[in-house]
Amino acid sequence: MNNYKNILTVLFLFLVFISCKKTESESGNYQVLAKLISFDGGDKIHFAKFKTLKNVSGNLPINDTIIVGYFNYKTPDEDIDTVLLTIKKYDKETSLKNYFICPDYDGKTNIQKTNMK
């Protein structure tokens, strides 16, 4: 009887681990430290260019220029330099190279000013 309990316990823990890992990878979000290059404006969707400095989670190329989209009414602070970006790859067709969006297009929440020393 103890063997069955042990097998069920191990199976249960394995399933919990797999489901947690799957949820993390399916979100598709990346977190990177980045330096602002420019705000490029836009109409409904505004754009900003950043140079990636360091991966926090995910695996984006470092020292690469990326474009990040967000809603015009959810704009980050103007006085940013180095930021923590929470972004995800834009999954529709676009001519923009290295184009990412903020989750829910919320630049105010997902582009956070950080102090690097």
Q: In terms of Cα–Cα distance, which of 104, 43, 56 is closest to 82? A: 56
Collapsing DSSP to helix, strand or coil, 68 comes out as: strand
Tens digits of per-residue pLDDT, 64-94? Answer: 999 999 999 999 988 899 999 999 999 999 9
pLDDT confidence band for 18 (50 / 70 / 90): low
Q: What mean pLDDT, rounded, does the chain reach?
A: 85
Q: What is the mean pLDDT of residues 84-109?
A: 94
pTM score, two decimals? Answer: 0.74
**Sequence ranges of the domains in the chain:** 28-113
- The CATH architecture of the domain made up of 28-113 is Beta Barrel (2.40)
pLDDT confidence band for 24 (50 / 70 / 90): very low
Q: What is the mean pLDDT of residues 109-115?
A: 91
3-class SS shares of the chain: helix, strand, coil, % to 5: 30, 40, 30
User: What span, in angstroms and rounded, lies between the C-alpha atoms of 97 and 99?
Assistant: 6
Residue 3 has pLDDT above 90, yes or no: no
User: What span, in angstroms and rounded, lies between the C-alpha atoms of 48 and 7?
Assistant: 52
Sequence-ordered list of residues with C-beta below 8 angstroms from that of 95, at least 6 positions apart, any chain: none
Round the CA-based radius of gyration of the chain to a whole number and report it.
19
